[in-house]
Amino acid sequence: MMKIEAIIQPSRFESVKDALREIGIEGMTVTEVRGHGRQKGHTEVYRGREYTVDLLPKIKLEMVLPDALVSRAVDTIQKTAKTGKIGDGKIFLSRVEEAIRIRNEERGENAL
Amino acid sequence: MKVAGRKCCLSLLLAVLAILLAAVPLVAQQAPAPAATSPASASSDSTKAITDKLAQLDKDVKAAQSAGDNAWMLVSAALVLMMTGPGLALFYGGLVRQKNTLAIMMQSFALMALITVLWALVGYSLCFGGNGPVIGGFEHAFLRGVGAEPNPDYAGTIPQATFMVYQLMFAIITPALITGATAERMKFSGTILFMILWFLFVYAPLAHMVWGKGGFLNASLGGKFPCLDFAGGTVVHISSGVSALVCALYMGKRVGYPKQPMPPHSLVLSFIGACLLWVGWFGFNAGSALAASSLATSAFVATHFATAAAALGWSGAEWLKNGRASALGAISGAVAGLVAITPASGFVGPMPALVIGLVAGVVCYLMVTKVKAMFGYDDALDAFGVHGAGGTIGALLTGVFAQQIINPIFGAGKPTGGLDGHWGQVGNQLVGVLMAWGLAIVGTLVILKIVDVVIGIRVPEEHEVEGLDVTQHGEEAYNLET
């Protein structure tokens, strides 16, 4: 089992979600986050005082998948979330030790 | 129904007969007099009838005028209250950080309640009673003698109670403006004590001096240095704006100022507040005519024009400097214009109003962006930059632009301000301005010291960092998580 953590542009989220559904992946956790890699922020001015805002809004997708589905999911996310500009985001993969379904205590890949 | 019933009917019948008999002479008296009189007394009878009729018409016309005046004044009083709540509460509320939203709104609301009670007990009397040069008296304490009868010294066509309640709304908003400078760091208990003392010892004397009978700055009731202040440029804006600066300097900067970013948490709230201020201000300025008259119209128009010009002035200056016009700049400009036109509104024409607005918009923009940064004081919500500076500009320009054709305040045919050739009026305005500055500075310093010793002015640093809503009031403004 692998965990996919993808930080993407908010404007690409709906397309990514739809594309994942098309390949049979529906379960995910979505959070609104702020951050930046190399992308520059912007300046705001309030009554003459300037503020540099360099924490930019992004969407973080998290999902745990059986090994067999991982590479197709990563491909889909990467192709759909891409705009070609700095700020598109990143995908991280990590191994997951165990998964348990709360409703009926199923374990392992059956729980996913 | 036998015997008792018949006795009943009989007595009823007798009673009705008695009433009818008594009514006959009454009816006879109302019949027109017979013609058995001499010709001379007949014509004096008809003259008397005409004079009586005219007297009745005169009373009816006055009653109609009073009704119109009173209706307008009651609406104006409501509009001015709306300026504090929710106008100012929202305007300031949106400008502070989220963790301090309720605290600043609570300060305005508390004043709506507190000043009202003080006014009823003793405030109205101190401001508008007596005829001393500096302060009123106690003859209207507990609002004794303040009822349906007009007070001809102030407003001869409306009940004195209307005048009283209208003026109350000014007494409420003035101290509320000061909270803009002390925002995000002043103790609520300290605020309450400060406001009680400030109202009694700074606002009341100034209001009496400018608007009260015998007040030495009063322009219409024979003051020594007649200062033209139609709706409160000195009494409301200079006093609160300068006091705000004194408070900001005394209290010191907020933790993290100026390095830490502290942008407004909701300009939407501020926008709504500013628009409510604009609309409410018609009650503030046009209502100061104290009648539903052409002077009220003139003040209404001047107010509106100055505000528009000021918004454009501030936005224009910002566009030139930053390349963009901001929403905060536009609404701040509008407020600056409203402040500046306040003393002038019932004395200047529409074109001068545009000029006053434009000047205020640009100058207040510079005060808030350049001067504040230059001196480094933390006037958190620019109470001094907008009200102190705008009020001073407006008061001085009133002396320049006042015209007798708009308002012959010094008497028919007497010149009013510079445009009439009476440039000395600018000097009188300066006296009023200096008086207001002086009283505000000295009074506020003394009061701050007293309050600091008795209760304390500033919250501890950890409370300031955590936020006043939670630490002063035990609440959060937004509980948005499901």
Q: Does B326 touch chain A (CB under 8 A)?
A: yes
Q: What is the mean pLDDT of residues B295-310?
A: 98
Q: What is the mean pLDDT of residues B257-272?
A: 95
Q: Considering only CB atoms, which chain A residues are within 8 Å of B370? A: 48
Q: Considering only CB atoms, which chain A residues are within 8 Å of B382? A: 47
Rounded Cα distance between B417 and B150, Å, is: 30
**Contact state of A46 with B328 under an 8 Å Cβ cutoff:** yes
Q: What is the mean pLDDT of residues A24-44?
A: 91
* Domain boundaries of chain A, sorted by first residue: 2-111
Q: What is the mean pLDDT of residues B247-257?
A: 97
The residues in B 376-435 lying below 8 A from A, measured between CB atoms, are 382
Q: Does B132 touch chain A (CB under 8 A)?
A: no
Q: Considering only CB atoms, which chain B residues are within 8 Å of A44? A: 263
Rounded Cα distance between B230 and B170, Å, is: 13
B121: tokens are: 């007990």
Q: Considering only CB atoms, which chain A residues are within 8 Å of B372? A: 48
Residue A1: Cβ within 10 Å count: 16
User: What does the pLDDT read at residue B18?
Assistant: 61
Q: What is the mean pLDDT of residues B64-88?
A: 97
Model confidence at A80, pLDDT cuts 50, 70, 90, reads: very high
Rounded Cα distance between B216 and A95, Å, is: 84
User: What does the pLDDT read at residue B331?
Assistant: 98
Please give the helix or strand (H or E) that residue B473 lies within, else none.
helix B468-473
Please give the helix or strand (H or E) that residue B464 lies within, else none.
helix B461-466
Model confidence at B6, pLDDT cuts 50, 70, 90, reads: low
Q: Considering only CB atoms, which chain A residues are within 8 Å of B261? A: 51
Question: DSSP secondary-structure letter at B227?
Answer: B
- Pick among A32, A42, A47, A55 to test the B interface (most B CBs inside 10 A): A47
Q: Using one digit for the tens of pLDDT, what is the confidence trace for B458-474?
A: 999 999 999 999 999 99
> Which residue in this structure is represented by tokens 């003051």?
B223
Higher pLDDT among residues B28 and B140, named by residue = B140
Q: CA B56 from chain center: how many Å?
A: 36
Q: Mean pLDDT of all residues in chain B?
A: 93
B67-473 CATH: 1.10.3430.10
* Contacts of residue A8, Cβ cutoff 8 Å, sequence gap at least 6: A16, A58, A59, A60, A61, A77, A81, A88, A89
Distances (CA, A) of B115 to A69, B110, B121, B191, B239: 70, 8, 10, 13, 16
Nearest to B382 among A44, A47, A51 (CB): A47
Nearest residue on chain A to B96, judged by CA atoms?
A46
Q: Highest mean pLDDT: which of A83-87, B45-49, B51-55, B294-298? A: B294-298
Q: Does B323 touch chain A (CB under 8 A)?
A: no
**Contact state of A46 with B372 under an 8 Å Cβ cutoff:** no
Q: Is the pLDDT of residue B29 over 50?
A: no
**Contact state of B328 with A51 under an 8 Å Cβ cutoff:** no
Q: What is the mean pLDDT of residues B85-113?
A: 98
The residues on A that touch B, with CB distances below 8 Å, are 44-49, 51
Higher pLDDT among residues B215 and B43, named by residue = B215
User: What does the pLDDT read at residue B31?
Assistant: 47
Q: Considering only CB atoms, which chain B residues are within 8 Å of A49? A: 258, 373
Least Cα distance to B409 among B314, B255, B263, B298 occurs for B298
Helices (H), B83-142: 89-95, 101-118, 124-128
Nearest to A51 among B261, B324, B332 (CB): B261
Q: Considering only CB atoms, which chain B residues are within 8 Å of A45? A: 322, 324, 326
B313: tokens are: 């002035």
Nearest residue on chain A to B371, judged by CA atoms?
A48
Q: Using one digit for the tens of pLDDT, what is the confidence trace for B335-373?
A: 999 999 999 999 999 999 999 999 999 999 999 999 999
The residues in B 151-180 lying below 8 A from A, measured between CB atoms, are none
User: What does the pLDDT read at residue B66?
Assistant: 93
Q: Using one digit for the tens of pLDDT, what is the confidence trace for A41-67?
A: 889 999 989 988 888 999 999 999 999
User: What does the pLDDT read at residue B28?
Assistant: 47
User: What does the pLDDT read at residue B1?
Assistant: 45
- Bridge-based pairing of strands A89-95 and A42-46 is unpaired
* Domain boundaries of chain B, sorted by first residue: 67-473
- Which residue(s) pair with A52 in the sheet? A43
User: What does the pLDDT read at residue A41?
Assistant: 85
**Contact state of A44 with B263 under an 8 Å Cβ cutoff:** yes
Assign domain A2-111 one CATH number from 3.30.70.120, 3.90.1150.10, 3.40.50.720, 3.90.110.10. 3.30.70.120
Q: Using one digit for the tens of pLDDT, what is the confidence trace for B446-460?
A: 999 999 999 999 999
Rounded Cα distance between B125 and B120, Å, is: 9
Q: What is the ipTM of this complex?
A: 0.82
**Contact state of A45 with B322 under an 8 Å Cβ cutoff:** yes
> Which residue in this structure is represented by tokens 């403006």?
B177
pTM, whole model, 2 decimals?
0.88
Nearest residue on chain B to A47, judged by CA atoms?
B369
Residue B296: Cβ within 10 Å count: 23
Q: Is the pLDDT of residue B2 over 60?
A: no
Q: Is the pLDDT of residue B30 over 50?
A: no
Rounded Cα distance between B229 and B133, Å, is: 16
* Contacts of residue B65, Cβ cutoff 8 Å, sequence gap at least 6: B157, B291
